[in-house]
């Protein structure tokens, strides 16, 4: 059993009357983002350590509880000890921590006490030092006994710092934070402006997190330009969802009326819009909208390819374009079903890559060549996925 222990005690540096945990982070509060990472890692109980209970924090705790986990609010180590299941492994989250699912997953595994650590030259002023040129990275996996040991100490000790010292004294395993993560999204901040910037960066990283070149180099670049403006203006996820759907419908309509270049270009823009909308919905914990928008991207790409094949078939009077489009769709569908981000390579095709590849050929009037290249690209990606999934002798 996994339990989470989130510290929400400190005030923001630039907002003395606000807790760091309740600062905005990409459309939600920071503590809600932290809780979602824990829940995704398999945590079924969350204990929130507070110094004072503000209306904003109470609202955030109530929203976390609606995600199907038990949430308790405590003020001391004694109260935390009483709430935590004695057989649970406790994932500790520092006050003000921003990190990723991948980093949390490295801690939320079977094993004894462990601390995520960073080198001092990578650690900002908010990190707690451990000695030996190391600092605590803000995550830990501890036995509940460590909380009990802190509970036995005087109550005027700082809970978070004391828990860290107790874990260090029992020689908890030290798990180094990857240097790339230390220089990227992972960090501890108590400044509202810094958290806003981290939230924007996280959204852009979410869009470009897949290895495919089209997602990283095309959609990701657009996201880095657009998302800061969308977050700053608090644009609703539904607006992007409806906008992307409308663009996709317009693109398909243009293809239906035999405007292949315009239709394929608009379809590609629609796919990028939906990809950005899915990332925004993910951060705001709107899972249904995120899932719908993620599925709409391959749907629009597939329909656009079929309509492009229809245009060419009407012109040539042959079924070659239909055969190429259907072959490409089958290969692409199998790849998306079987391939995952663990085995995916950067050159592989993705749903957003096909409209981008077909656009210049449709615009130039060489749709059949574009469909042939897209089918070959999908086939090569499928062959690479099969090879990656084969059991090695």
The CATH code of the domain that includes 380 is 1.20.120.1760
Range of lowest pLDDT (41-55, 107-121, 206-220, 316-330): 206-220
Among 190, 224, 257, the domain boundary falls at 190
Res 172 pLDDT > 80: yes
CATH number at residue 45: 3.90.550.10
Pair (173, 250) in one structural domain: no
pLDDT tens-digit profile of 175-231? Answer: 998 766 555 678 888 888 888 778 777 766 666 555 678 887 888 788 777 877 777
| Cα dihedral across residues 51, 56, 58, 64: positive or negative | negative
**By the 8 A CB rule, do 16 and 5 touch?**
no
Six token digits for residue 210: 């897949």
- Taking 50 as the threshold, does the pLDDT of residue 393 lie above it? no
Q: Which domain holds residue 257?
A: 208-389
pTM for this entry: 0.73
Handedness of CA 216, 221, 222, 226 (dihedral sign): positive
pLDDT (average), residues 256-283 = 91
Domain-located, residue 203 = no
Q: Are residues 160 and 27 in the same domain?
A: yes
Are both 118 and 37 inside the same structural domain? yes
For residue 367, being part of any structural domain is answered with yes
Structural domain contains residue 225:
yes
Is 346 part of any domain?
yes
H or E segment and range at residue 361: helix 353-364
Lowest-pLDDT range of 261-265, 301-305, 388-392: 388-392
CB-based burial, 72-94: b 16+ in 10 Å, e otherwise: bbbeebeebbebbeeebbbbbbb
* Statement to judge: residues 158 and 19 lie in one domain: yes
Q: What is the mean pLDDT of residues 153-165?
A: 91
Q: Which residues of 144-173 are buried (b: 16+ CB within 10 A; e: fewer)?
A: bebbbbbbeeeeeeebbebbbebbbeeebe
The answer to whether 181 and 103 have CB atoms below 8 angstroms apart is yes
- Do 249 and 135 share a structural domain? no
Are residue 216 and residue 142 in the same domain, yes or no? no
What is the reported pLDDT for 145?
A: 94
Q: Which helix (H) or strand (E) holds 187?
A: strand 187-188
As given in the structure block, the two tokens for residue 351 are 């749903």
pLDDT in tens, 274-301: 988 888 887 777 778 888 998 999 999 9
Q: What 3-state class would DSSP assign to 268?
A: helix
- 334 and 232 share one domain: yes
CA-to-CA distance for 330 and 382, rounded, in angstroms? 10
> Does some domain include residue 197?
no
Range in 113-122, 149-158, 342-351 the model is least confident about: 342-351
């Amino acid at each position: 059993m996994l339990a989470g222990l989130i510290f929400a005690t400190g005030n923001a540096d630039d907002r003395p009357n606000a807790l760091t945990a309740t600062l905005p982070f990409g459309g939600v509060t920071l503590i809600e983002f932290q809780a979602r990472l824990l829940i995704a890692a398999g945590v079924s109980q969350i204990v929130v350590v507070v110094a004072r209970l503000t209306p904003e924090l109470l609202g955030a705790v109530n929203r976390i509880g609606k995600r199907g986990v038990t949430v308790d609010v405590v003020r001391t180590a004694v109260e935390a000890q009483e709430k935590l299941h004695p057989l649970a492994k406790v994932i500790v989250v520092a006050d003000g921590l921003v990190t990723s699912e991948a980093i949390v997953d490295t801690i939320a595994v079977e094993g004894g006490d462990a601390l995520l650590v960073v080198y001092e030259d990578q650690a900002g002023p908010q990190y707690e030092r451990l000695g030996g040129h190391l600092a605590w990275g803000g995550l830990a996996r501890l036995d509940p006994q460590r909380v009990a040991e802190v509970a036995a100490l005087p109550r005027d000790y700082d809970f978070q710092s004391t828990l860290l010292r107790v874990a260090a004294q029992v020689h908890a395993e030290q798990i180094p934070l990857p240097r790339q993560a230390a220089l990227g999204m992972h960090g501890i901040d108590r400044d509202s402006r810094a958290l806003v910037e981290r939230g924007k960066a996280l959204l852009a990283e979410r869009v470009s997190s897949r290895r495919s070149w089209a997602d990283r180099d095309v959609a990701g670049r657009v996201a880095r330009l657009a998302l800061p403006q969308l977050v700053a203006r608090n644009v609703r996820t539904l607006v992007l969802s409806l906008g992307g759907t409308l663009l996709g419908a317009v693109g398909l309509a243009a293809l239906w009326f035999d405007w292949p270049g315009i239709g394929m270009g608009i379809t590609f823009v629609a796919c990028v819009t939906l990809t950005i909308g899915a990332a925004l919905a993910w951060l705001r914990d709107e899972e249904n909208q995120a899932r719908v928008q993620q599925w709409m991207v391959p749907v629009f790409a597939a329909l656009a390819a079929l309509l492009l094949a229809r245009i060419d078939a009407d012109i040539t009077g042959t079924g070659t374009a239909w055969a190429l489009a259907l072959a490409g769709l089958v290969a692409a569908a199998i790849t998306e079903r079987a391939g995952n981000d663990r085995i995916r390579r950067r050159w592989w095709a993705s749903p957003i890559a096909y409209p981008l590849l077909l656009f210049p050929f449709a615009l130039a009037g060489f749709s059949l060549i574009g469909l042939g290249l897209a089918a070959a690209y999908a086939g090569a990606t499928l062959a690479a996925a099969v090879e990656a999934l084969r059991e090695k002798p």
